[in-house]
């Protein structure tokens, strides 16, 4: 077997394992189908057997001849007599992240998406959801039952928060440790395949959120196997992943193979890469460029475009610049500056990192330049931040924006949505700027009907000390934002999780018709969005903005449409600020009140937005 064969995990169906730190490795197999299973607690008797493994080049261990891989076997590894520990590339953890792994035959599933050709990424509308709180059941199969609703609001790409294994029963997903698994509580790998299949059948693409910058605090056995972490460098969550020191070649391969598993074995259409600014990599070829190269090759092989979107705090176009230009060649990146500018202009909140965005001009800059901080001083960071975009060359769809997302809601003291402080009129402004602005829009589950449920930070760590430390650390995080620590919900309290589940009955609640009204706004805006030309036909230089700081209005010209936003308490005369509007397309004031769209737009009501064709 060649080195290339040993490292090809796109069809991984044997028991090889990389464990360069061990002097002796044994494969432990516990066959659930064995009639003697459970007859002994140790290895070598009953239904559990131990098999010596042989060391080959590069720290790879292989089982003795005659040990056959098949689906449904529970197994683990003894390292120098300690363990057994789960497989670093485990596909299933039926007893949790501390239990034995279980083999899963990814090739045995009968897919029904042979005709799936993917969707254009420059016209995407992304919908971010958390499986555990999206439906009352909190499963992948239940989520698949809501796809028609997503189609009704123009969604093209469904983005799942991390689904891989974590310790406990519920979690945001960013405490994952078993990167190759699907959380059993969501339905495991079979349910995940069914979900992707159902999305493709409905005409929806799937994006999976993945975390390659850190591992969770419980169940991380990787350091026992090899140098997966670098202890001399760290980030917010602990030790950094080892991308440039001894053993880094295999660690990088581990990450790339994981990405190819989601995109290949699970037919996923793209990955959202969590907090890539926390990746410490000064290699000649950055991990993100290496990953982009591998994913581009998979896209070419399959004929289906797979996309990579980075969550980056750097405000740097290096993420999506071509690799021949010195960039990483990803498809796009998040732009939190858009969120901050919209949030401040609608809510007036200026604490913490919101301070620099306290003007209509800040929003105007984001809309025309992509980033607000593009080499300017950031008062929150206390330094200059960001890189200026080339407006003539940059297609704005490369930036993914949201007025609400899991971070910006869940990382608030009480996990409150915009709904908690804004009425339908202001929510319609946020929706219009997001869905009809020049960037790729992303919605967060429930915002389309002004869901009243919060989305709070929740954990279910079984270890009491870890649970206590998590709760205390959560309170400390809010000091710089100036939020009251006394109101922070306990992440470990089960009610913090259940309170965060969407209440779908709100949509048709006659006592609160505003939910249905806001949903109507999203559906109308989504219809308008389908009439816009592909995003690749637009450049930042084509986007123009006029605004008044004193009167608090903004005119956004995003060819071929114009949005006029009124943030003030007084009506705005359109004849004075936008006299050449063409065919009316949308008036939030009329829409929310059930009135017909005016034949001619002459004014914008307070806290409203109108949309028209450019004359």
Averaged pLDDT, groups of 10, the chain, 615 residues long: 43 86 96 62 64 95 91 96 97 97 92 96 97 98 98 98 96 96 98 98 98 94 96 74 96 97 97 96 97 97 96 97 96 97 97 95 98 96 97 98 97 94 98 98 98 97 87 70 78 96 98 98 98 97 98 97 98 92 97 96 97 94
Pair type for strands 48-55 and 82-85: unpaired
Cα–Cα dist 117/96, whole Å = 36
Is the pTM higher than 0.75?
yes
Tokens of 124: 């995407």
Within the chain, which residue ranges are assigned CATH 2.60.40.1180? 539-614
Burial class (CB in 10 A: 0-12, 13-18, 19+), 511: exposed
Residue with tokens 């637009």: 538
**pLDDT at residue 5 in the model:** 41
Cα–Cα dist 247/386, whole Å = 32
Burial class (CB in 10 A: 0-12, 13-18, 19+), 64: exposed
DSSP secondary structure code for residue 519 in this structure: H
Distances (CA, A) of 299 to 200, 263, 497: 17, 9, 38
Tokens of 556: 């956004």
What CATH class has 3-85?
mainly beta
What CATH class has 121-215+250-508?
alpha beta
Cis link prior to 46 (omega < 30° from 0)?
A: no
**pLDDT at residue 7 in the model:** 44
The values of phi and psi at residue 440, to 5°, are -80, 120
Options 122, 128, 311, 587, the catalytic residue: 311
Distances (CA, A) of 382 to 313, 379, 408: 15, 5, 21
Cβ contact 222:284 at 8 Å: no
What are 334's strand-pairing partners?
Answer: 400
**pLDDT at residue 480 in the model:** 61
Pair type for strands 307-310 and 332-334: parallel
Does an H or E element contain 400, and which? strand 399-401
Determine the straight-line distance between the first and last CA of the chain, rounded to whole angstroms.
Answer: 67
Cα–Cα dist 153/447, whole Å = 11
Distances (CA, A) of 461 to 172, 217, 468, 551: 12, 9, 9, 50
Model confidence pLDDT, tens digit, residues 298-324: 999 999 999 999 999 999 999 999 999
Options 125, 128, 269, 274, the catalytic residue: 274
Cβ contact 524:454 at 8 Å: no
Cα–Cα dist 176/199, whole Å = 24
Cα–Cα dist 599/615, whole Å = 15
Cα–Cα dist 348/76, whole Å = 54
**pLDDT at residue 415 in the model:** 95
**pLDDT at residue 487 in the model:** 85
Does an H or E element contain 362, and which? helix 360-369
Within the chain, which residue ranges are assigned CATH 3.20.20.80? 121-215+250-508
Active site residue 274: yes
**pLDDT at residue 66 in the model:** 87
Query: Taking Cα atoms as reference points, which of 475, 471, 473 lies closest to residue 491?
Result: 471
CATH of span 539-614? 2.60.40.1180
CA triple 116-122-128, angle to 5 deg = 75
**pLDDT at residue 160 in the model:** 98
Cα–Cα dist 314/493, whole Å = 34
- Provide the phi-psi class of 54: left if phi over 0, else alpha when psi is between -120 and 50, else beta: beta
Active site residue 301: no
Model confidence pLDDT, tens digit, residues 585-609: 999 999 999 999 999 999 999 999 9
Cα–Cα dist 220/13, whole Å = 23
């Amino acid at each position: 077997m060649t080195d290339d064969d040993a490292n090809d995990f796109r069809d991984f169906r044997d028991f090889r394992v990389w464990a360069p730190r061990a002097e002796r490795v044994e494969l432990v197999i516990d066959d659930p189908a064995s009639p003697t299973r459970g007859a002994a607690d140790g290895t070598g008797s009953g239904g559990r057997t131990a098999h010596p493994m042989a060391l080959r080049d590069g720290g790879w261990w292989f089982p003795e001849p005659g040990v056959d891989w098949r689906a449904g076997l529970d197994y683990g590894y003894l390292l120098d007599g300690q363990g057994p520990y789960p497989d670093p590339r485990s596909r299933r953890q039926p007893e949790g992240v501390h239990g034995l792994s279980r083999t899963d035959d990814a090739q045995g599933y009968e897919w029904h998406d042979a005709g799936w050709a993917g969707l254009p990424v420059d016209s995407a509308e992304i919908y971010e959801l958390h499986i555990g709180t999206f439906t009352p059941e909190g499963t992948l199969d239940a989520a698949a039952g809501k796809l028609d609703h997503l189609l009704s609001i123009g969604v093209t790409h469904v983005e799942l928060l991390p689904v891989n294994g974590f310790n406990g029963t519920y979690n945001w997903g960013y405490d994952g440790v078993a990167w190759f698994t699907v959380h059993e509580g969501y339905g495991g790998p079979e349910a995940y395949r069914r979900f992707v299949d159902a999305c493709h059948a409905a005409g929806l693409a799937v994006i999976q959120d993945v975390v390659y910058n850190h591992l969770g605090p419980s169940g991380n056995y990787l350091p026992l196997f090899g140098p997966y972490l670098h202890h001399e460098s760290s980030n917010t969550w602990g030790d950094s992943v080892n991308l440039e020191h001894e053993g880094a070649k295999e660690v990088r391969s581990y990450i790339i193979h994981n990405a190819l598993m989601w995109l290949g074995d699970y037919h996923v259409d793209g990955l959202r890469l969590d907090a890539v600014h926390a990746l410490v990599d000064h290699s000649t070829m950055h991990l993100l460029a290496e990953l982009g190269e591998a994913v581009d090759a998979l896209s070419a092989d399959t004929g289906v475009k797979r996309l990579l979107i980075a969550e980056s705090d750097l405000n740097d176009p290096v993420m999506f610049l071509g690799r021949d230009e010195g960039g990483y060649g990803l498809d796009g990146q998040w732009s939190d500056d858009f969120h901050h500018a919209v949030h401040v202009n609608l809510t007036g909140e200026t604490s913490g990192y919101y301070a620099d965005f306290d003007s209509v001009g800040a929003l105007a800059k984001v809309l025309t330049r992509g980033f607000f901080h593009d080499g300017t001083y950031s008062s929150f960071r206390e330094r200059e931040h960001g890189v200026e975009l080339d407006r003539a060359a940059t297609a704005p769809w490369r930036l993914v924006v949201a007025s609400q997302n899991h971070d910006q809601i869940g990382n608030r003291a009480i996990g409150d949505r915009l709904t908690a402080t804004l009425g339908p009129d202001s929510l319609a402004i946020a929706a219009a700027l997001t869905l009809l602005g020049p960037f790729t829009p992303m919605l967060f589950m429930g915002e389309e009907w002004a869901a009243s449920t919060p989305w709070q930070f929740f954990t279910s760590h079984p270890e009491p000390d870890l649970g206590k430390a998590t709760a205390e650390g959560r309170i400390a995080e809010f000091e710089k934002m100036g939020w009251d620590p006394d109101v922070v919900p306990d992440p470990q309290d089960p009610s913090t999780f259940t309170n965060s589940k969407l209440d779908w009955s709100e949509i048709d609640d006659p006592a609160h018709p505003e939910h249905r009204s806001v949903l109507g706004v999203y559906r109308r805006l989504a219809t308008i969005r389908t009439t816009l030309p592909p995003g690749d036909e637009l450049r930042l230089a084509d986007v123009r903005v006029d605004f008044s700081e004193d009167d608090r209005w903004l005119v956004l010209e995003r060819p071929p449409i114009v949005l006029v936003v009124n943030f003030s308490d007084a009506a705005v005369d359109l004849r004075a600020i936008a006299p050449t509007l063409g065919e009316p397309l949308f008036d939030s004031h009329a829409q929310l009140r059930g009135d017909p769209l005016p034949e001619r737009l002459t004014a914008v009501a307070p806290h409203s937005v109108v949309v028209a064709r450019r004359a």
